[in-house]
Structure 1
Amino acid sequence: MIRRLARTAALVAGLVAATSTPALAEAPRGWEQQAMKVPAAQRLGQGKGITVAVLDSGVMEDHPEFRGRVTSGPDFIGGGARPGQSYWGAHGTSMASSVLRVAPQAQVLSVRVIWDHEDPARKRAEAATKSGRIAADEESLKRGNALAKGIRYAVDKGARVISMSLGTDEWNLGDAYDDTTAAAVDYALGKGVILMASAGNGGSTDPLEVDANNVVAYPAAHPGVIAVAATGPDGKRADFSQVHTYNTISAPGVDIYFANNRGGYRTGEGTSPACALAAGTAALMLSRNPDLTPRQVRDILIRTAKKPAGGYNVFLGFGLIDAAAAVQAAGAAKDAKIAAAPYKGKEYFGGGPVASASTNPPIDMGFVTVGGGAAGVGLLFLLGAALLMRRPRARPAPGRPADGAFGQAAPYGPPRNMG
């Protein structure tokens, strides 16, 4: 989520400086590498054999920065934009370069799932959202399913890390949690894929800042996704980085120098580059130890991070990534095992029983004998009654009609003359 751009090249530095705040004077180019201790980490691993899926607006594969390290998958969002246009791949190209600056031997799989800010398709969707219209056209339907399809595609193509520099606070035009994306996240985690997402750029407290919403952003808020906040060169939270309890770790996100989709380079800021840098770190960890699970990667990043004063907080999570310490710890990690943990607590949960256990007096066998005898006598009476009821009835004398029910003559005609 690149929010502001500074200089794009030395040739036009003066022109850009007239319209934007100079940034490189405060933060030298590549400062994020030193802050995260990337050079030391790269002596332990380079990301070889690891594919990082960059789910974004597309990546210009032929940029000199990439040298054959980027391949492209499907365009799940569409909209009509094509490679070579200024609004195709602006964001994604920059994010891919941030990943590869950290993990230079990794492979990037580009999957297009969002529009750049200047894309006409995005502007159409924004206009429909502002007017309150509920669009049900093909373009809107593709937008709603693009991220979930991109996650599943990346997993099936062998990506070990999925970098999502996007969020519902900006990119999905107001949409929030949806079951389709949640199911795709679960699918990826079940396959052992590490998922990272930017925390969001709406954390500003400036009332004039239009992005100051600090809403819950998905996919960062999904359980199992590592949410990445942004820091500045001073190590503090960048003023735009969103503040949430699901923030896991942080990475540099101010004055980041990266590739431009039109050629050359530019600088920008946001939690987007922070997420991409974190994804590159995960690739280094996996190249050192390919058997790491998503939970192990998360735990190692947390354990080795440079902690904020006072420990975890909602601004920076567990702190700034220390790539060197994380890669070293990854190499020493053992295989994850799943087993039931023995309970070592007290005998009872909570306060236990509210009263002492009650006891019953012994059974008086005299009552049992009397009761048994009475039952036996009753049983004899029942047998006697049954025998009496089964005794045969007296038959009538020959030649005499049998009485019917209630003492009346049998209904078969008038009585015979016996005289």
Structure 2
Amino acid sequence: MERDLIYWIHDELQYRGADSSRHIIRFKSKREYLNCLNLISQLKPSLDALPFLQPLPSIQGFSCFLRSASELSSYSDTVSIEEDRKQAVIHAASSSSTRSRSQAKFRVDEQFIPWGVRQIKAPTAWARSTGHKIKIAVIDTGVDYMHPDLQRNVAGGVNVIYRHLLPRDDNGHGTHISGTIAASSQRKGIVGVAPNASLYAVKAFDHNGTAFISDIIFGIEWCIRNRIDIINMSFGMKNSSKALEDTIRKAYEAGVIIVASSGNDGRSGRIDYPAKFPYTIAVGATTKNRKVARFSNRGKTIDIYAPGDKIYSCWLNGKYHELSGTSMATSHVSGVIAMMMAVRGKMSTRTVKDLLKKSSSAIQSKRSTSLDTGEINALQAVRTVMS
């Protein structure tokens, strides 16, 4: 049965064309999946299209191009199939007041702490913790690892889209996120929330800020293998994916803390995936006056809020940029969790959620919206874990 399936998939891969689309094939039995892996290893020398079959071991499956998934119905007792759509999108947009560094209200020759980092009281907590050696993976568009404020802290990564290339950012979003998490300028530039954390760039999103589900899954698997402590997921999608949920659950069970943005639709009680999965920490965005940002999703499904409006951070080619979104809020939260873990060590996602809520600052919201949490407070969070 496995051999017939492999030959059929090979034929599909061989004749890949405009009528083909990506799918995720999952085996219902671990034994059958392992048998299939063994057969693929044996048949690769004679079937030249098999290298294009991407294994996804965390979910006992593969990602590949198929012309028609309907023919897999004859293997329904063995496998299940899910369309691998490019549906994940980054959660950010340029602010109307976007400025280059030369236009900013501070001199080029001085160090600058962005308002969000100051509002959550990260600088006052640095005497106790700076996130030293905590490993944070940013599954995003890559990172400008030559940026002067980031090059000290980028410790590694992977380009999921083009495996032979470095995870260089060709969009800017991933670099912006990384700057808020752990920028570490010396005499000039910006400082992030956890300036001594270790950043890992996992490039699963293209230059347009979109990604296939299977590429995100591969990125999460890479994080599990490399013992990452925290995964920042500043992206979302409207539809659920069973394959992605199961992979995130695997990471959760491995002790990885996953922080996800809730979405920028301004909705109450509804948030995007993967923030909606119970294995993640869902983040909403606030403004300078500690109100829920107009664009942010909100409600009881949000675990914590953080600054996300007009956030100034790193950009491509050593520059700086201002963006708004729950993406930006999520990066603040990842930084604070790194500070907490540097003091206390490994914690479960449930423990982290409880501690973040317990130590949060009160925020304002519309009367029609019920909030079960507040804005993240780095100083109180670190004090809480120390006690």
| TM-score, with length taken from structure 1 | 0.61
Aligned to 1:149: 218
Q: CA deviation at 1:315?
A: 6.7
C-alpha distance in 2, partners of 1:3/1:303? 31
Deviation at 1:107, TM superposition (A): 0.3
Paired with 2:373 and 2:220, the residues of 1 have a C-alpha distance of 26
> Are the structure 2 counterparts of residues 33 and 82 from structure 1 closer, same or farther at C-alpha, using a change threshold of 3 Å?
closer
SS of the residue corresponding to residue 386 of structure 2 reads helix
Give the partner amino acid of 2:229: R
Aligned to 2:146: 62
Distance change >3 Å, CA 245–CA 114, structure 1 → 2:
farther
Partner of 1:280: 335
Report matched runs for 1:162-181 at 5 Å.
162-169=231-238, 176-181=239-244
Give 1:331 deviation, angstroms.
1.8
1:321 is aligned with what amino acid? Answer: I
CA distance in 2, matches of 1:59, 1:293: 28
Q: Which moved more, 1:98-107 or 1:38-47?
A: 38-47
SS at match of 1:102: coil
- For 1:303, which of 358, 362, 365 is the aligned residue? 358
Is the CA contact 1:288–1:327 (under 8 Å) kept in the aligned structure 2? yes
Secondary structure at 2:145's aligned position in 1?
coil
Deviation at 1:73, TM superposition (A): 2.4
CA distance in 2, matches of 1:192, 1:159: 9
1:51 aligns with 2:135: yes
* 2:284 counterpart SS class: strand
The C-alpha deviation readout for 1:288-324, integer Å capped at 9, x for no partner, is 1113222211110011111346999967550100110
Q: Distance in 1 between matches of 2:167 and 2:160?
A: 15
Cα gap change, 1:309/1:97 in structure 2, threshold over 3 Å: closer, same or farther?
Answer: closer
Q: Write the distance in 2 (CA, Å) between the matches of 1:61 and 1:93.
A: 8
Name the amino acid aligned to 2:214. Answer: N
State the distance in 2 between where 1:81 and 1:153 align. 16
Match of 1:90 in 2: 172
2: CA distance between counterparts of 1:304 and 1:293?
17
Counterpart contact for 2:291–2:365, Cα < 8 Å: no
Which amino acid in 2 is paired with 1:33?
V
Q: How do 1:7-406 residues align onto structure 2 when only pairs under 5 Å count?
A: 7-11=98-102, 30-78=114-162, 88-100=170-182, 101-117=192-208, 143-169=212-238, 176-203=239-266, 216-308=271-363, 317-332=372-387
- CA distance in 2 between counterparts of 1:316 and 1:31 reads 23
Q: CA RMSD in A?
A: 3.0
Deviation at 1:81, TM superposition (A): 9.9
The one-letter code matched in structure 1 to 2:172 is A
Q: Distance in 1 between matches of 2:226 and 2:254?
A: 12
Pair 1:219–1:97, CA change in 2 (3 A) = same
How many angstroms does 1:201 deviate by? Answer: 0.9
CA gap 1:315/1:323 in 2 versus in 1, 3 angstroms? farther
Note closer, same or farther for the CA distance 1:82–1:310 as it changes in structure 2 (3 Å cut). Answer: closer
Q: Is the 8 A contact 1:229 1:316 kept in 2?
A: no
Deviates more, 1:101-110 or 1:148-157: 148-157
TM-score when normalising by structure 2: 0.66
Q: Tell me what 1:391 maps to.
A: none
CA distance in 2, matches of 1:44, 1:107: 17
- Distance across 1 between alignment mates of 2:359 and 2:258: 19
SS of 2:306's partner is strand
- The CA deviation at 1:66 is 1.0
Q: Distance in 1 between matches of 2:151 and 2:134?
A: 16
Residue deviations 1:216-259 (CA, integer Å, cap 9, x gap): 41110000211110000111111110134321110000121100
Distance 1:237 1:109 in 2: 30
Does the Cα contact within 8 Å between 1:312 and 1:319 map onto a contact in 2? Answer: no
Asked whether the 8 Å contact 1:250–1:316 carries over to 2, the reply is no
Gaps of 5+ in 2: 1-90, 106-111, 183-191
